[in-house]
Structure 1
């Protein structure tokens, strides 16, 4: 019986393989399109029009990645329970409050005709590709469900899913900041939420004034009993981000070089799909030749080059959402107050379909600003206003980069992109480089703090549409010939007021990249790649010294101290896989941070027992202010002095590393080994799961260095591109190209990514070829 089951399963799996050879008719095609794949499965689409290539891209995406596309549209629409049942119902309840499917349908009505035509072509290609499979994609066989055909608004939902990935963290961040502001004295709040620190490396502007330590009149942590365990600050340092940097022609002797690695949660298959588009220009007769990565579900290239320019993105971590305190009428609960008086709430009903369970009805109340979906610290209803909920926030203008030929023009058009706001860096074949922000930024009226909920019922509060493009920060061909971006603060204090602070990164990565860029006067592609792979632990150098000093401060030579001394003697200053010292110092850092910050959180939890700190980017700076100044009123109870606190932290780390009565400090590679998994691997026996997942390779790197890496989070791609010299450029990505485990391209290229070995950027020799053609 087992043998028959395995045979049947194998036949079903093979039946859902993508088509790699032969010819297939697509009725809507105007002319044939050739689909070439190289040994990694990188796809080259060659045709006579961009519309035909959009259709062919849809066909290929559906055959290789339809299930992943489906998950992204369902994630944004709040429709996962229809596939997976009650286990994911809480996600759907939360997301459905945003009514993103309805909003995506409304956005469609405002898109220009050219964009609608591309979506029409792409949708037709997706559904033809899905229908052409002999068996539906294997995840639907496993879940005993059937795929729902693709619709135009689904492509917009995929873009909205990226908005959620990159922006949603800030929703809860601002709610937590509101609780902090209400429950802490102002000097304490200002100290903990400082927007700047000593690791800043802005592109524009000067350093910012830093807040002083709170006085003993503001807070005395010795009097606070911290009952609850400390927050884990390691979680707040893993956030969607990226590195990007560029050097101009004055440092290369020719074309600019643009590097990019976008940091996301890693999975099998990878979120991105490698593709090259070749089609003629209707006006000049020359060919457009665009190579890069696409996001399955959308008919555009996300980052890459077009032989004239190369471009890249990093998450800006600006503030693009606000919470509005809603005043509900005491006499009519269906009315709320705005600047014109009492207005009726808009009431919507959403139906959540749940697999193997009855449907659930969800009632949503909306204001002119957005849906009411939360409460402030005092119970006041809160409405969410967010760029993604605005009808003109999303478009397909990213496609225009395919025809842009200069870095300056690329930066000019980037501000109009309908995407989550990103740092945008472009370089061109003539050596020019530019940086700006891509995406729509809200234009805010003055008079309220956008980081905490505010009352917008007063005249002059809130947003006044979009920020004028002329007010966007822009840096073109800086004198240094260098640009860098790593999710940290990039601009001055005045410009920061326009962009907002959505939880910028500490700046250690940006500083390390900037400093490496200034170590050389000339750069090759290999020099730039070396910066991407830099795993030096510069941030931890002083933590290593502090740990050494703490270990030496013990009066007795306890047996458990010997492994500490042995590990520290092997410190190389890198997050390398064979370093036990790095693992130990890192653990000590987080233990000290958690212990010190727990004193402050205990003050808040007197009124809000479930409070957790949000992403506070400058916690590293704040903790070192405490350690250096050692003020007794900021020493958390029950510690008697600062050295005792540090000794306690080291002992706590040792206790956690105790295995069967022995204190064993594992090497970093044993802790930081890959766990890049297929969504279904946990549902099978281990031997099948291991076949679906990527190998558990030890991985160098960590969060606060250029080589960002954790077991399932890190560089979702690495590219270094010199436009016009694409043959010398490179690109790597984890997880592989195909989503089908029997495909020859499943996991393709993953080994090079894990080992940091460069793979050519352009597709290689043709491995398989097929053709899409109009019917005879």
Structure 2
């Protein structure tokens, strides 16, 4: 073969390969584009009685205008499916323990953990028990979802990637989406906190345990009934580390049991000011719900307009965020009332000791004799592998999920396992005419119990607990596994609306919640202690609110974005005092870099990063010998959170009792010096040394698509939001950590929605070719006040009744 034919052949091969690559790219684009939502035109659908107009602005905010809420529910389901079906599918599958069927064996452990609750059966029963009106609403939404899915030219792109097909939406699947929120907000249905406290009580003296997990009165900011008493350090006669046979503070086992003292826990901020201190005369509400962040965001921006005789002009106009998978507007304003939520961290789970019949392992003791354990074989389908059979053992109190410290089986009583705890009564808020009327509705909501804050156009504000399943407890300590086999012991009923704590129109015109303890005495006994936040966020919000007496929505956003480091200020002072007279060259730079305190968790803050790390190390060194003592008996022990060791650690390093100091250190100053050295050594070894260790280096957005990790780097990076450094931290109003933080920020004064603000990360759509993929995310990063109300219409889609 001559040279020229070879060249021509090689050139032809390259051209052919180029065409193949281009064809593959074009095919991929065609498929991806085929799963985009339809934004314009007319579509005949069988599920509406009258036409529904759906407009979208530049952010993708969907405005639904129709002649009835039923038609709006159908249209909302239609749009949710077209923009968000895959995330909706993930939520129902997470709750039902059906992820492995979609993604394979990598999800099997999660499925096993969740399938033990049999939440699909629970939600099927919940749906069956709903009123005909609520069933009809869910059925209309279901029909809209399935129509929206069917009217995509191609199935959502994630299913093309996974090689599977989407399954139709069922009415009870909306209850499963609520169940997913129960799991997210209630410790994944595991109640680990109480298990770990039980392990502490089994290994350490009671007074010591009570001290180690005491709330910190220095940071509490309840709405009423004052702060907790100061913790009491137990004497050497109770416990003395100098005589205890525990590994030293340097033991890897102990250190491993104490992760970062500021782990991310689902929570939120909400606060309100009355009309008396508002510029408009109407009250103003702020709410930012802190959850795991993803692409797209968990919430969907929407405005709903339909006739309503209870509305001032006969037309209901509601704006805020919806939860795809349900037909409800979760947080927002109806023109008369605005509402928002934060996780209450009440006690909604109890461990029950199951006493087996010694002569029949299938029976267990109950107050009226013996009952038979119900066994269920749950078949978990696994993509690409054989099905997994899970045996679930159920009692009248709940499934058997764990063992007590003495080996006794434990059943979990959890409201999330009860059909009564699910409904869509939240939708009634769209018609509430006043703050008081909205508070009246709260005890009927079938949802995880939440702090519920409301503000109305007449200037009134109020707070209560939302959720219809607050258990009444009798005959046992809810902080310990208990035997409910005795008469008059256990959950004996449910709180009546008149028993719910409630505050309306406080004298100073300000209300706030931030996952902290809100009440005390009998009301706290009713709600229980489920792991309240330390209170530093709530206190900073409270003080920010008290710092001025003239508010607009932008002023509330300023509070949401407050990243001042008040909580760490005393730790900066402690670090400086620790290093004041130390002649150690390795610590000089640490002292110098933290001497000038900016008092801010800003991305470029070196001082904040170093002080934060110092506090982390001090906590680990102080608590390590106690953790090691517990781990001698319970290898799986972890320190129970969130943040409830701050009071004990701070008091120990202030009062410095020798009997509670790790014997590895000659005195408490030596322990503090070791913590400082650990920071200097670990961070100083990194490129650039201590001076390059900014807060933004570790505090980044981390907002990713659920599938991006499974794709090649450049593709996954394309799906994710830019991984930018963020200001903020956990113990301040602006909560931020990688992949966790404010899933929205809303500030709204009812009747003045045109002045309202709604920021949201991750965008509206899950399709990368959509104009709304990531829309608004940059405003969220920068804290720019994105308008709550939709802007100019960019797209219009009309759903019309199918011709009969």
- Report whether the alignment pairs 1:190 with 2:210: yes
Q: Deviations over 1:94-150 (max 9, x none)?
A: 111111001111111110111101101000000000000111000000000000000
Quick check: 1:219 aligned with 2:221?
no
- SS for the counterpart of 2:126 is helix
Please give the alpha-carbon distance, in whole angstroms, between the structure 2 residues aligned to 1:164 and 1:278: 32
Shift of 1:634: 0.9
Give the TM-score taking structure 1 as reference length: 0.98
Corresponding residue to 1:75 among 87, 94, 100 = 94
Bigger mean CA offset, 26-35 vs 228-237: 228-237
Superposed CA deviations along residues 592-643 of structure 1, whole A, max 9, x for unmatched, are 0111111211111111122111115431111111011000011113011111
DSSP-derived class of the 2:49 partner: coil
Mapped contact 2:420–2:469 kept (Cα < 8 A): no
The residue that corresponds to 2:5 in the other structure is none
From 183, 193, 196, the counterpart of 1:176: 196
SS where residue 357 of structure 1 aligns?
coil
CA contact (8 A) 1:187 1:218 kept: yes
SS at match of 1:102: helix
- Alignment RMSD: 1.4
Q: Which stretch of structure 1 is more off in the superposition, 106-115 or 277-286?
A: 277-286
Cα deviations by residue, 1:462-491 (Å, 9 ceiling, x for unpaired): 101211211111000011100000000000
Distance 2:783 2:262 in 1: 26
Structure 1 residue 772, shift from structure 2 partner? 0.4
- Aligned position for 2:409: 381
Q: Structure 1 pair 235/144, CA: closer, same or farther in 2 (3 Å)?
A: farther
Match of 2:272, SS state, is: strand
Among candidates 38, 51, 58, match of residue 57 of structure 2:
38
How many Å apart are 1:674 and its aligned residue?
1.4
Instruction: Assess if the C-alpha contact under 8 Å between 2:258 and 2:624 holds in 1.
Output: no
Is residue 478 from structure 1 mapped to residue 478 from structure 2 by the alignment? no
Secondary structure of the corresponding residue to residue 164 of structure 1: helix
1:742 aligns with 2:769: yes
* Counterpart contact for 2:322–2:329, Cα < 8 Å: yes
In the alignment of these two chains, the number of paired residues is 774
For residues 59-101 of structure 1, what are the alpha-carbon distances to aligned partners after superposition, in whole Å with 9 as ceiling and x for unaligned?
0000000000000000000000001111110111111111100
- The 5-angstrom pairing of residues 495-574 of structure 1 reads 495-556=523-584, 558=585, 560-574=586-600
For 2:178 and 2:541, the matched residues in 1 are separated by 29
* Distance (Å, rounded) in 2 between the aligned partners of 1:623 and 1:342: 46
Give unmatched runs, 5+ long, in structure 2.
1-19
Contact 2:352/2:412 (8 A) holds in 1: yes
Give the structure 1 partner of residue 419 of structure 2: 391
SS at match of 1:238: coil
Whether 2:361 is the aligned partner of 1:339: answer no
**Distance in 2, Cα, partners of 1:238 & 1:630:** 30
Q: CA deviation at 1:193?
A: 2.1
* Conserved? CA contact 2:215–2:534, under 8 Å: no
| Corresponding residue SS for 1:464 | strand
Residue of structure 2 in register with 1:581 after alignment:
607
Matching residue within 215, 221, 234 for 2:260: 234
Q: Cα distance, 1:359 vs. partner? A: 1.1
Structure 1 residue 646: Cα displacement: 0.7
CA distance, structure 2, for counterparts of residue 88 and residue 268 of structure 1: 19
Matched residue, 1:262: 289
Q: Give the Cα separation in 2 of the matches to 1:132 and 1:437.
A: 41
Larger radius of gyration: 2
Distance in 2, Cα, partners of 1:232 & 1:196: 19
Q: Distance in 2 between matches of 1:551 and 1:3?
A: 63
Q: CA separation in 1, counterparts of 2:24 and 2:603?
A: 41
Cα distance, 1:322–1:660 mapped onto 2, change above 3 Å: closer
**129-138 or 616-625, larger mean C-alpha shift:** 616-625
* Separation (CA, whole Å) in 2 of partners of 1:752 and 1:294: 20
CA contact (8 A) 1:655 1:663 kept: no
**SS in structure 2 opposite 1:289?**
strand
Structure 1 residue 662, shift from structure 2 partner: 6.1
Equivalent residue number for residue 105 of structure 1 = 124
1:210 to 230, 237, 256: 230
Q: Which residue of 1 aligns with 2:669?
A: 643
Is 1:563–1:663's contact at 8 Å kept on the other side of the alignment? no
2:636 to 610, 624, 632: 610
Range that drifts further, 115-124 or 657-666: 657-666
Note if 1:771 corresponds to 2:798. yes
Aligned to 2:225, the other structure's residue is in SS state coil
* Aligned partners of 1:246 and 1:482 also within 8 Å: yes
Q: Which deviations, in whole Å up to 9, do the C-alpha atoms of 1:724-757 show, x marking residues without a partner?
A: 0000111101011111100000000000000000
